[in-house]
């Protein structure tokens, strides 16, 4: 009868689906359509103001109210610190002039195109890619508090006062990473492609914040491809940044070009916004999730970014750089995107400088690099284009496929080696289970990783299938191990249950009077008929003869094969069917894997310190998969449970991906390097391998003290033999080995060949065994005078003595016990190795 499944496992998934699919709670008195119409009307007003203003209408602060615009965030009553905008622009001009040069910078600001100038800045026309580095705080920064802002005027519907800004950088430095996306197409650029729209996802952190907090946000802006200049800003209900973007430009020419482009693109975007079935509150939202970040009063800081790309240099020689003679940068970009097999020269990475300004929080930050800092310390923001990143990601995926293939190869070899119940019984179930959990986690990560990488989806799915195949093989191997070990546990439980317990003392029973025997029948009485009634079912019947034991021709049988007598009057205990237990094993594995994956996803959004602690802990536990095997070797007194190519190979191939993410700075997941944690993890793995090797050489319990309660008593197959008068502790065997090659006289069983040495016969290989024996009363052993008992610890690994006092070569008996746990001489059951 099959047992019922536990419904609590399915109840968890039902609750999870209900929580995910449940609609968000909404205020019944909140008119969504009316609010949406107000948002659209305000956007149209901002666009009209953008078309009516001119260069200089904003930023020339004089009398009260002058220099401000009637745009959200650009009004005087909003409380933004626009008075430092002039200093920020001057700092941006200095940095751009240092990169482009004074002449190129003048042509860029004025918009003059000199036909005599053939050589222009060698910059990428398409900035789609990423760049990362460190930022430092600028002296232009100001310290601002939430009370300095007129929040009630900007967001009158905000019911929740806030005490701190999000994205507020209060420290002096931290990491920053930009993911740039060029919005291509005729609708996103002007006629001569001198300006285009661009979008960036900014990931920025603060070293001095609690737990090293970090933030992600989106910024939209314009890009000048000929000179590598980009200006981006965030947009929310508190700050209409995209409508104020022309006023953030560095000159009147740049203002006109940006105004002309944004007048058309913003108009088209708002037309699509009106015609959509579902409302889009903010098409230029700074929230990465795409939600309306100002619906309940966004408490984040607004940011305006100024970027300047460095010219691309060609690396011909190991020690020098030069420009790109003979190569058109347009051809290079086209070859990167649509490769035709042309030879692409080595070039400098994508490098750019950054100046960021927060008009509400007041901080001003700059990218860390020359000339303020040494090039050996920092080189501003460096990265690569998307095409190069995709190539590197494909190479990483291929390397990971190689590691998975090696894992499969080592696993198949170990599974073939552990083909008998004796060898499977030595392997720890939890060691293979941790490996299976790691591969299952890798499968789920590869399935969803394309959402983070944005590329290589087909390659990731292919490697995910390889990881899934590895999981299937490991689960199959786990079932084989579990079946053998559960059978052994059931046998041990039966033995413990069948062990007779000493009877408790009982009071003497009162003798009952015996009934008087009937008188003997008379000789003339007829004998009783054979048709008498049968005995009742409760009567004591004569015992049945024992079931015969049939021994096969190869004499191969184990103790479990001996049938045990059963009482027909007793009811057998109800046991769970094997198929149901295996199904429960699969369900627990899948449930634990899914829970672990969801918890890991939650920690990816935590602060840097908490995230580092979690991942270091979970990886440390994952790399501890040899600890259960070390523990099982101690409990079973087993030395050779696994192949050494499996131990070393699995350790190396599972350590390679972790070493990549911990040691390579420019990895595909942009994880921070941590050499100290990598050294600890590698040392921990090496310590486990050393422990396994020491258990094989010195014994599985070489570091376990005698008398520890948690260690069960186990038979030692490698005892140190001591000679006594009666010979009760010496092995049984005969010897025929002479003392010298010319001698033909045979030695008697256990006869000495030299001082402290005896020769016995191995019945498996029919060869002699020369073993060291400590003489009676102490004394030295030949060849062990210098080492004493220390040398005997190693010499005793060459022979094995069974509980029935038979001695064999260690390789001979270990090979025999791989197939059957019984003595080759007397067929007595042997304890597991």
pLDDT, one tens digit per residue, over 772-830 is: 887 765 555 555 444 455 566 667 778 888 888 888 888 888 778 777 778 888 888 78
Instruction: Verify that 367 and 409 share a domain, yes or no.
Output: no
pLDDT of residue 528: 45
pLDDT of residue 787: 47
pLDDT of residue 406: 94
Reply yes or no on whether the pLDDT at 676 is more than 80: yes
Q: Quick one: which of 38, 30, 16, 75 has its CA closest to 244? A: 75
Rounded CA-CA distance 29/512 in Å is 94
Reply yes or no on whether the pLDDT at 263 is more than 70: yes
Instruction: Verify that 187 and 268 share a domain, yes or no.
Output: yes
Task: Give 719 or 512, the one with higher predicted confidence.
Answer: 719
> Residue 727 is part of which domain span?
721-817
Rounded CA-CA distance 266/271 in Å is 9
Instruction: Verify that 370 and 474 share a domain, yes or no.
Output: no
Ranges 214-218, 645-649, 740-744: which has the least confidence = 740-744
pLDDT of residue 532: 43
Q: What is the DSSP string of 298-359?
A: --BPP-EEEEEEPPP-EEEETTEEE--TT--HHHHHHHHHS--SPPPPPBPPEEEEEEEE-T
Rounded CA-CA distance 192/183 in Å is 16
286 lies in some domain: yes
Task: Give 353 or 393, the one with higher predicted confidence.
Answer: 353
pLDDT of residue 571: 38
State both tokens at 147.
Answer: 């009370």
542 lies in some domain: no
Task: Give 435 or 120, the one with higher predicted confidence.
Answer: 435
pLDDT band with cut points at 50, 70 and 90 for residue 149: low
Average pLDDT for residues 423-449, to the nearest whole number?
A: 91
Confidence (pTM):
0.75
741 lies in some domain: yes
456: left (phi over 0), alpha (psi -120 to 50) or beta: left
The answer to whether 250 and 109 have CB atoms below 8 angstroms apart is yes
pLDDT of residue 489: 77
pLDDT of residue 692: 92
- Pairing type for strands 129-137 and 173-183 reads antiparallel
Average pLDDT for residues 45-53, to the nearest whole number?
A: 89
Dihedral (CA of 415, 420, 421, 423) sign: negative
Rounded CA-CA distance 270/183 in Å is 17
Instruction: Verify that 747 and 663 share a domain, yes or no.
Output: no
Q: What's the domain count of the chain?
A: 3
pLDDT of residue 102: 87
509 lies in some domain: no
Name, in order, each residue with C-beta under 8 angstroms of 47's C-beta and a sequence gap of 6 or more. 243, 263, 266, 267, 270
State both tokens at 99.
Answer: 């990169």
Rounded CA-CA distance 383/169 in Å is 23
Average pLDDT, the chain: 78
Residue 159's CB: how many other CB atoms inside 10 A? 7
Of 333, 354, 379, which one is at a domain's C-terminal end?
379
Task: Give 758 or 81, the one with higher predicted confidence.
Answer: 81
178 lies in some domain: yes
The answer to whether 345 and 387 have CB atoms below 8 angstroms apart is no
pLDDT of residue 729: 59
Instruction: Verify that 459 and 311 share a domain, yes or no.
Output: no
pLDDT of residue 658: 94
Rounded CA-CA distance 107/259 in Å is 19
Instruction: Verify that 143 and 240 share a domain, yes or no.
Output: yes
528 lies in some domain: no
Reply yes or no on whether the pLDDT at 510 is more than 60: no
Instruction: Verify that 204 and 110 share a domain, yes or no.
Output: yes
Instruction: Verify that 367 and 399 share a domain, yes or no.
Output: no
453-485 residue pLDDT tens: 766 778 888 889 999 999 999 998 998 888 888
Q: In DSSP terms, which residues pair with 800 in a beta bridge?
A: 808
Reply yes or no on whether the pLDDT at 255 is more than 90: yes
Q: What is the DSSP string of 510-568?
A: PPPPPPPPPPPPPTTSPPPPTTPPPPPTTS-PPPPPPPPPPPPTT----GGGSPPP--T
State both tokens at 685.
Answer: 């793995």
Residue 517 CB burial class (10 angstroms; 0-12, 13-18, ≥19) = exposed
The answer to whether 218 and 201 have CB atoms below 8 angstroms apart is yes
Reply yes or no on whether the pLDDT at 371 is more than 60: yes
Reply yes or no on whether the pLDDT at 30 is more than 70: no
Rounded CA-CA distance 383/352 in Å is 9
pLDDT band with cut points at 50, 70 and 90 for residue 29: very low
pLDDT band with cut points at 50, 70 and 90 for residue 565: very low
Reply yes or no on whether the pLDDT at 383 is more than 90: yes
Instruction: Verify that 603 and 727 share a domain, yes or no.
Output: no
Rounded CA-CA distance 295/24 in Å is 14
Q: Quick one: which of 733, 85, 553 has its CA closest to 360? A: 85
Reply yes or no on whether the pLDDT at 160 is more than 60: no
Of 333, 349, 379, which one is at a domain's C-terminal end?
379
- The pLDDT > 90 percentage for the chain reads 30
Task: Give 190 or 119, the one with higher predicted confidence.
Answer: 190
Top mean pLDDT of 11-15, 79-83, 306-310 is at 306-310
pLDDT band with cut points at 50, 70 and 90 for residue 181: very high
Q: What is the DSSP letter of 806?
A: B
pLDDT band with cut points at 50, 70 and 90 for residue 526: very low
Rounded CA-CA distance 439/466 in Å is 10
497 lies in some domain: no
Instruction: Verify that 478 and 588 share a domain, yes or no.
Output: yes
Q: Quick one: which of 240, 199, 227, 231 has its CA closest to 53? A: 240
pLDDT of residue 768: 82
16 lies in some domain: no
Ranges 114-128, 318-332, 412-426: which has the least confidence = 318-332
Write the CA distances from 66 to 72, 142, 675, integer angstroms. Answer: 16, 22, 55
Respond yes or no on whether the N-terminal peptide bond of residue 371 is cis (omega within 30° of 0): yes
Average pLDDT for residues 138-148, to the nearest whole number?
A: 79
Of 379, 400, 416, which one is at a domain's C-terminal end?
379
- Pairing type for strands 196-205 and 214-224 reads antiparallel
pLDDT of residue 824: 84
Helices 85-100, 102-110: axis angle to 10 degrees equals 130
pLDDT of residue 454: 65
Rounded CA-CA distance 442/593 in Å is 10
- Pairing type for strands 320-322 and 229-233 reads unpaired
Top mean pLDDT of 24-38, 233-247, 797-811 is at 233-247
Instruction: Verify that 688 and 795 share a domain, yes or no.
Output: no
Top mean pLDDT of 33-37, 189-193, 237-241, 767-771 is at 237-241
- The pLDDT > 70 percentage for the chain reads 71
pLDDT of residue 742: 39
Reply yes or no on whether the pLDDT at 753 is more than 70: no
Rounded CA-CA distance 813/499 in Å is 30
Instruction: Verify that 669 and 749 share a domain, yes or no.
Output: no
619 three-state secondary structure: helix
Average pLDDT for residues 312-322, to the nearest whole number?
A: 58
pLDDT of residue 158: 53
Write the CA distances from 323 to 329, 350, 484, 631, integer angstroms. Answer: 11, 14, 69, 62
């Amino acid at each position: 009868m099959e047992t019922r499944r536990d419904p609590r496992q399915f109840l968890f998934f039902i609750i999870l689906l209900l929580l995910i699919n449940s609609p968000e709670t909404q205020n019944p008195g909140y008119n969504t359509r009316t609010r949406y119409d107000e948002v659209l009307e305000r956007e149209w007003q901002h666009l009209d103001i953008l078309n009516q203003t001119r260069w200089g209408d904003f930023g020339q602060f004089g009398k009260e109210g002058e220099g401000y615009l009637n745009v959200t965030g650009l009004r005087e009553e909003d409380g933004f610190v626009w008075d430092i905008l002039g200093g920020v622009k001057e700092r941006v001009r200095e940095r751009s002039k240092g990169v482009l040069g004074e002449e190129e910078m003048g042509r860029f600001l004025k918009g003059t195109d000199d036909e005599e100038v053939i050589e222009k800045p060698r910059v990428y026309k398409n900035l789609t890619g990423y760049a990362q580095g460190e930022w430092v705080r600028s002296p232009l920064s100001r310290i601002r508090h939430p009370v300095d802002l007129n929040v009630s005027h900007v967001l009158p519907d905000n019911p929740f006062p806030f005490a701190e800004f999000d994205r507020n950088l209060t420290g002096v430095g931290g990491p920053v990473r930009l993911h740039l996306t060029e919005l291509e197409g005729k609708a996103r650029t002007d006629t001569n492609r001198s300006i285009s729209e661009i979008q960036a996802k900014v990931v920025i952190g603060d070293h001095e914040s609690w737990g090293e907090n970090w933030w992600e946000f989106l910024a939209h802006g314009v890009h000048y491809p000929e000179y590598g200049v980009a200006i981006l800003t965030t947009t929310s209900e508190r700050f209409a940044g995209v409508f104020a973007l022309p006023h953030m430009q560095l000159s009147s020419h740049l203002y006109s070009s940006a105004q002309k482009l944004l007048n058309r693109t913003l108009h088209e975007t708002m037309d699509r916004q009106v015609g959509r079935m579902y409302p889009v509150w903010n098409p230029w939202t700074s929230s990465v999730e795409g939600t309306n970040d100002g619906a309940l009063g966004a408490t984040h800081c607004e940011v305006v970014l100024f970027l300047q790309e460095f010219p691309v240099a060609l690396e011909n020689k190991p020690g020098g750089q030069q420009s790109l003679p003979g190569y058109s940068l347009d051809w290079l970009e086209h070859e990167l995107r649509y490769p035709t097999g042309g030879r692409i020269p080595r070039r400098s990475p994508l490098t750019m400088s950054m100046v960021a300004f927060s008009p509400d929080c007041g901080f001003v930050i700059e990218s860390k690099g020359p000339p303020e800092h040494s090039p050996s310390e920092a080189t501003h923001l460096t990265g690569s284009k998307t095409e190069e990143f995709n190539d590197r990601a494909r190479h990483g995926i291929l390397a990971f496929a190689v590691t998975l293939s090696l894992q499969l190869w080592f696993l198949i070899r170990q599974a073939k080696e552990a083909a008998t119940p004796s060898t499977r019984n030595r392997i720890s179930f939890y060691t293979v289970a941790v490996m299976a959990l790691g591969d299952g986690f890798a499968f789920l990560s590869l399935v969803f990783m394309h959402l983070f990488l944005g590329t290589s989806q087909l390659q990731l799915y292919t490697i995910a299938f390889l990881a899934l195949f590895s999981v299937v093989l490991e689960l199959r191997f786990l079932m084989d191990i579990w079946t053998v070990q559960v059978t052994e546990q059931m046998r041990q439980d039966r033995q413990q249950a069948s062990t007779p317990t000493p009877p408790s003392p009982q009071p003497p029973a009162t003798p009952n009077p015996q009934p008087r025997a009937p008188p003997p029948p008379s000789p003339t009485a007829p004998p009783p008929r054979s048709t008498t009634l049968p005995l009742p079912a409760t009567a004591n019947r004569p015992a049945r003869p024992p079931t015969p034991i049939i021994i096969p021709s190869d004499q191969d049988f184990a103790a479990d094969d001996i049938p045990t007598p059963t009482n027909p009057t007793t009811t057998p205990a109800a046991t769970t069917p094997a198929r149901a237990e295996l199904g429960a094993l699969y369900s627990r594995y899948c449930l634990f894997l899914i829970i672990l994956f969801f918890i890991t996803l939650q920690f990816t959004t935590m602060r840097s310190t908490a995230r580092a602690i979690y991942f270091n802990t979970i990886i440390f536990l994952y790399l501890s998969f040899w600890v259960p095997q070390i523990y099982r070797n101690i409990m079973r007194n087993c030395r050779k449970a696994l192949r050494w190519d499996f131990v070393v190979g699995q350790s190396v191939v599972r350590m390679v991906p972790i070493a990549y993410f911990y040691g390579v700075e420019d990895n595909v997941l942009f994880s921070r390097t941590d050499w100290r944690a990598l050294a600890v993890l590698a040392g921990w793995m090496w310590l486990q391998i050393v422990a396994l090797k020491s258990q094989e050489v010195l014994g599985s319990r070489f570091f376990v003290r005698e008398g520890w309660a948690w260690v069960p008593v186990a038979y030692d197959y490698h005892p140190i033999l001591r000679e006594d008068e009666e010979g009760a502790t010496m092995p049984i065997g005969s010897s025929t080995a002479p003392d010298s090659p010319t001698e033909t006289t045979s030695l008697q069983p256990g006869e000495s060949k030299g001082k402290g040495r005896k020769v016995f016969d191995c019945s498996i290989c029919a060869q002699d065994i020369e073993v060291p024996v400590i003489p009676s009363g102490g004394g030295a052993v030949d060849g062990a005078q210098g080492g004493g008992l220390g040398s005997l610890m190693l010499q005793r690994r060459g022979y094995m003595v069974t509980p029935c006092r038979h001695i064999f070569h260690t390789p001979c008996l270990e090979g025999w016990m791989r197939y059957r746990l019984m003595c080759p001489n007397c067929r007595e059951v042997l304890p597991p190795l």
